[in-house]
Each structure stands twice: as C-alpha cells, then as structure tokens.
Structure 1
Amino acid sequence: MRKKFRGVETSKRKLDHIEICLNRKVESSYTGFEDVMLIHKSIPEIDFEEIDTVVEFLGKRLSAPFLIASITGGHPKAVEINKNLALAVEELGLGMGVGSQRAGMEGGDLESFTVVRDFAPNAFIYANIGLPQIIKDVEVAEKAVEMIDANALAIHLNYLQEAIQPEGDKFSRNAYDAIEEVCKSLRVPVIVKETGAGMVRDIALKLKAVGVSALDVGGKGGTSFSAVESYRCEGYKAEIGRDFWDWGIPTAYSIVECYDVLPVIATGGIRNGLDLAKALALGAVVGSSALPFLKRALEGVESVMELLRYYIDGLKVSMFLTGCRSCKDLRKVEIFISGRLKDWLEVRGYDVSKLCIARVVE
C-alpha cells in the first residue's frame, strides 16, 4: 500500500510541476550568454547551403546538435506531451529525454514514458532517474533504461529542488560510489545531468573518474526548480524557495568549466539558435531546452517542430555569419567575452583573452 501511495503522491507532484511551469513565472536570470559575442565575419567565404549541422553524440547521429531536455512523465496528462515531442524529434532526426522515471516505477502512468519510444523508434532517447534513487537502489538504473529502450541514462542532480521541496530527498552520501556502480554495470552510456544550478570543474573531474560518459551542465538561467517548488510550499518555506530562485552557476560559465573534461550538453536558458551557437562556441557538443517546448507540446506536434526549426535555423544563420560549415568549426571560432562572465572566469583563474581565441577539444 505504501508504494502505491507514493506513486499517487509522485504523480500528483508531476502534475503540479506541469501546471506551475505552464502558468507561473519560473525562470531564473542570467545565463552568461548575454556576455558572449560571436565575432561577425563580413565575408563568410562559404555558401549557406554548404552548412551541415549533423553531429555524432554518444554513438548516435543527430541532424543538429539539439535535444529536447527532460520535461515530464508519470501522469496521464504527460502522455500527450511526450507523444508530440517524440513525433517531432523522430521526424527531424533529433533526440529527447523523459522526465524522472521514479513516478513510473512507483505506480504512476507508465504509458507517459513508453509512448516516447513507441513514436520515436529511431531517435536518440535518454532515460532519466534521480541520484537519490540511484543511491537507494542502483538497480533502478537498468529498469529506467529498459522501460523506454533508451540509448543512454541521465542521472539527474536536483538537490536545489530537493532542498526546497516539501517531500524532497535530502541525502547524497555515497553518491560517487553509486554512480560508478551504474557506469560499470549499464549497457548504455551514462549522462550526469544538473537541473538548473550548474556544474563546476571539480565535480566534472570526479564524475569522469567514476566512468560517466557525458555531462548535462544544466546551468542557471532557465527553469528554476526552487521557484517551481516555492509555489508548492507555504509560509516561510515558500519564502526560502524565493530566496534561492536565482541560486546556481550560469550555463555559459558551467560550459567553460566542464567542456574539456567530458562531452557537454548545454542546458539552462537556451531559448534560440543564437544561444545554441554560443553554447557550442564555448565548447558544448549539443544543447537542449525544456520549458519552451512544454506549451508547444500541448498545442500539437506541428507546433513542436516549428519551434525546433526556429532553433536549428537560427543556429545555421549564426554558423553562416561566422563562416562555419560544420558544428565542429563553430567550436573553433574566436569570440568576445565581457561583463560578469569575464569577471567570474578571471576570478577562477582563466586567461579570458586566450579563451576567446581557442577552446577546441577534438
């Protein structure tokens, strides 16, 4: 009975999150991309038609370096959302993640997860489970992958959210041991994914040491799950959620900290193709976004595809204006970094002038 109750509780929480993200202000401020400028090339020396956005990521070919980040799952309302997202990424040759599969394992709506592979049989799909669940039972990793026949597993880090959430799991002891065990036993690559608070180099290095294949830096500047949870809290606990609304490491800074440690997915406030191009220029391999696709998924698959094309076409314009035929070329362009991002990088010991000229990792 307790497991069934937890499943109902988790499913209700997922519905709360959907409704809050659709109807309330939930985004944090400052991604760092505001202080990054791609240097315009007056004569690009390429034709627009030459531009090729295809990339390889964790053994899978993507038509462009973009994923729809994990949004939801575990509630009947999520079936339509994930179906439309899946149809769109399958049609355009992209990829996506699912929301935390804890809900599905605790008796929540299973179809809201399995629908993704049903309608995206060839797309890159990653499973998703929280680190606290992995610490409790590493076997949930394999169950999450099998549930949706995933190409990779994302272990999400959402301790900011857990700390604010009334029913949050506030423990992380033995985390690296659990992650290492998953990496050794799982048949697919493991991504470790932050969810809005960003990541720094020392964490990235430790994750690499235990066998992680890629990092989703999930930086500040997109959805703030402290904000989301503040709407679910009462009294002073809601105030604490608002106090930590802008907590975290901006996405652009997180990319610089991690790009030469492991392949980076840049998530957190990427709202157009120019943001995506800046993320790639800083060293990310792919970018992703979640919140803008939630409303579009409820509007229908065509609406999702229109937004995806907006991102990809904006990326291509950025590539054309910097003379880049491929996404790998974009990682070699000279850039200009100013403002708070420059200040923070210098405090951390980076030579910003050199960083503006060379960031290439083959």
Structure 2
Amino acid sequence: MPKQNNRKNEHVSLSEKFYDQGQSSFTDVRFVHHSFPQMAVKDVDLAVQLASLHFEVPFFINAMSGGSRWTGKVNEKLAIIARETGLAIATGSVSAALKDPEQEGTFKIVRETNPHGLVFSNLGAGHGLENAKKVVDLLQADAMQIHINAPQEIVMPEGDREFSNWIENVQEIVEGLDVPVIAKEVGFGMSRETVHLLESIGVKIIDISGRGGTNFAQIENYRRTEQKLDDLESWGQTTVESLLETQEAVKGAHIIASGGIRRPMEIIKALAMGAELVGLSSQFMHMALDDVDQTIETVHAWKSELASIMTLLGAKSVNDLKQTDLVLSGQAAQWCAARNISIQKYASRS
C-alpha cells in the first residue's frame, strides 16, 4: 500500500481509536432558564445563510476522509447521510488526489453520491490558487475549506516544516476563487489575533475548530516511532475558548464552530456563543462506521431536539440564540479572566 494511502487510513482509524478521549469544553457553559418561552416549537426556523451558502439546519458534516480505497468508502457513507438528511458535507484534504490522480475517485464519490447537496472541498494552507481551483473543479464544490494545521504538521513525521507563505496562500485563494472560502483550524482553536489577521486579508468565513474532539497532535504523535512530542498533545484553545476569543475580534466574518461537538445541546451552546454554523467530524465518523441508516434517523431526531431547545430559550431563529443568557464557569471563566473578556455580558444579554 502506498505510504500516502496508509497515512489516510491511519488518520481515520486512530480518530476512531481515540474517540472516547474527546472532552467537551461546553460543560463550562450553562443557560439561564426563563420560565415563559412565549413561542411554539413550530415557530422555530433552523435555516442559516453564510455568504451565498444556504443551510437547512445549523450543522454539517465537517472534513474528515478520502485519499485511499477504504476512506473513499467512508466518504460514500457520509455522502449518503448528507443526501438523505439535507446536510452539507466537506471532504478531507484533497491533496492526496493531487499527488496521486488514482485517488480522485475517493473524493469525487461525495459529489456523485450527493449530486444536489452542498459539498466543500478541502486543502491545506501550503497550497496555492491553482491547486485550489483544481480541487474545486474536481468536486464541483460549493465552497473551499483551507485547513490551517501547523501543530499537526510539526508533530507529523513527514509533515511540513515551512509555514512562511501560508497567509499569502490563503489571501491568494480568497481573492482568486469564485466560490466562498472557509479558513479552518483542525482542532487547535483560534485566537482573536488570528481572527483579526484572517479578516484583514479578506476571509469571510472562519471555522475556529477548537480542542476537544479529534486531536491530530495525538494522532501524529502516536504515529511517530522516535522523539515523541507528548507536550504538544494538549496544545491550543478549546472550542469554547476560541468562541470567546472570536467574539472579541470578529468584525463581520461568519463564524463556524467545530471541535468536540457531538450533541444537539452543544450545537445550541456554540450557536449561542456566536457561531452561525456548527461542524461535526468525529461524531459523524463514529456513527457512520457503525450504521448509516441509524445515523440518518439520529440526524432527523437532532433537528427536532434543536427546535425543542430553541423553544425553551425563546429563540425563533439561530440568530436569536445570541441574545440568550449564558453563565460561564471553570476553565472558560479562567480564560476570560486571563484574556480580559467580560463574562458578565454573557449572563445578562436578554
């Protein structure tokens, strides 16, 4: 088996191996309950709009898979789930297909299986505009994710060691593509300084992807045969910390939250903290590898649960969730104190 294919298989299998080690940062976030919702469940509208992209519900299947025969089959399962539930779906990094055209089918299967749905292609920030155009064309993609993963590359035995051109690459892609560009972390979170920098080069959609879900530093460290980098396994900001950072900096970009989000309540909390859309990766991988039909049923149940929770919060739309009252405790409160972020403003928004 070619080395590239084997690495793609390892990423998926190790993500599943470490699935139970994910830790949600949303336990530090609580809603203030107000007794009179003054609305009905039928009043809830789950749809959201990010730039030119319309989503039926405020969550989607985030980037994971592709680049080998096995991960191509995983992509097909995920695409079936997306097709049957109306969810948007992102592929894993399509760089494998650029290196080996024989792997193109493991990504194209997503569009072939889900011809009318929203599909995002994905490449790392080390790539330039021409490669971005190629992978958008390959998938007939509706948007382009540019993943930003310096800690993963550092820990990865065969990873990149040159990052000086990344920000120029992202800007070139933003300015040169005809589809929306999503700047996406891969589980290490974002700071307000990063959000400010991305907005300054024209990025309109930002996925803060915090720590708490798939840990690519842990995965790559597991793959190392020597000179382990254990300390980097806890690198970065959690999803909650990243959302707090983002709200201090964002000037107009659309924010996506991902990283350790697995349940409808966590989706709602992320939306209440300023996200407009939520991405789930390892949870969908975990469910899809087990039972595609059951996953489809679960997604439909989640839609109903989201509407129920929003009703309790008196929120008719996703945007209304930003006016709900949140009490922050634990590590989230400590982060706010250290970074001079007011937790009182979150508790009295209504």
**TM-score scaled by length of structure 1:** 0.90
Q: In the alignment, what sits opposite 1:111?
A: 105
Do residues 325 (structure 1) and 316 (structure 2) align? yes
- Alpha-carbon contact 2:24-2:261 (below 8 Å) kept: no
2:82 aligned residue: 89
1:150 and 2:141 are equivalent in the alignment: yes
> How do 1:215-226 and structure 2 match up within 5 A?
215-226=206-217
Q: Once structures 1 and 2 are overlaid, which stretch shifts more, 171-180 or 273-282?
A: 171-180
* Cα distance, 1:110–1:27 mapped onto 2, change above 3 Å: farther
Quick one: distance in 1 between partners of 2:105 and 2:263? 31
Q: Which aligned pairs between 1:36-55 and structure 2 lie closer than 5 A?
A: 36-55=29-48
In structure 2, stretches of 5+ residues that fail to align are none
**Match of residue 56 from structure 1:** 49
Q: 1:351 to 1:25 in 2, by over 3 A?
A: closer
Shift of 1:115: 0.9
In the alignment, the residues of structure 1 paired with residue 300 and residue 222 of structure 2 have an alpha-carbon distance, to the nearest angstrom, of: 33
How far the C-alpha of 1:86 sits from its partner, in A, is 1.4
CA contact 1:276–1:311 (8 Å) conserved in 2: no
Secondary structure of residue in 2 paired with 1:154: strand
Q: Give the distance between the partners of 1:234 and 1:25, measured in 2 at CA.
A: 22
Which of the numbers 237, 242, 245 marks the counterpart of 1:254? Answer: 242
1:125 is displaced (CA, Å) by 1.3
Q: What per-residue deviation string (whole Å, max 9, x for no partner) do you get for residues 232-276 of structure 1?
A: 112332xx1x32222110101111222433211100110100000
Give deviations 1:35-83, integer Å, cap 9, x for gaps: 1111223221111222221111232221210011101101111222112
From 245, 249, 259, the equivalent of 2:233 is 245
Q: Does 1:198 align with 2:189?
A: yes
Give, as a single letter, the amino acid of the residue that structure 2 aligns with 1:53.
Answer: L
Q: Give 1:344's aligned residue.
A: 335
Correspondent of 1:171 among 162, 165, 187? 162
Q: 1:19: which partner in 2?
A: 13
Match of 1:10 in 2: 4
Structure 1: gaps (5+ residues):
none
Deviates more, 1:289-298 or 1:141-150: 289-298
Q: Which amino acid aligns with 2:110?
A: V
Q: Is 2:125 aligned against 1:131?
A: yes
Counterpart-to-counterpart distance in 2, 1:285 and 1:343: 25
**Structure 2 letter corresponding to 1:115:** I
CA contact (8 A) 2:60 2:279 kept: yes
Letter in 2 for 1:87: I
Contact 1:265 1:284 in 2 (8 A): yes
In the alignment, the residues of structure 1 paired with residue 169 and residue 15 of structure 2 have an alpha-carbon distance, to the nearest angstrom, of 31
Alpha-carbon shift at residue 335 of structure 1 (Å): 1.3
In the alignment, the residues of structure 1 paired with residue 319 and residue 124 of structure 2 have an alpha-carbon distance, to the nearest angstrom, of 32
User: 2 CA distance for matches of 1:71 and 1:180?
Assistant: 24
What secondary structure does 2:293 align onto?
A: helix
CA deviation digits over 1:170-214, x for unaligned, max 9? 221022222111111110111110001000111111111111121
Q: SS at 2:233's partner residue?
A: coil
Write out per-residue CA displacement over residues 101-130 of structure 1, whole angstroms, 9 at most, x where no aligned residue. 011111152111101111222222111001
The answer on whether the counterparts of 2:68 and 2:103 sit within 8 Å (CA) in structure 1 is yes
Identity of aligned residues (%): 31
Q: CA RMSD in A?
A: 1.9
Q: Normalising to structure 2: TM-score of the pair?
A: 0.93
Distance 1:300 1:306, change over 3 A: same
AA in 1 matched with 2:143: A
Deviation (angstroms), 1:26? 7.1
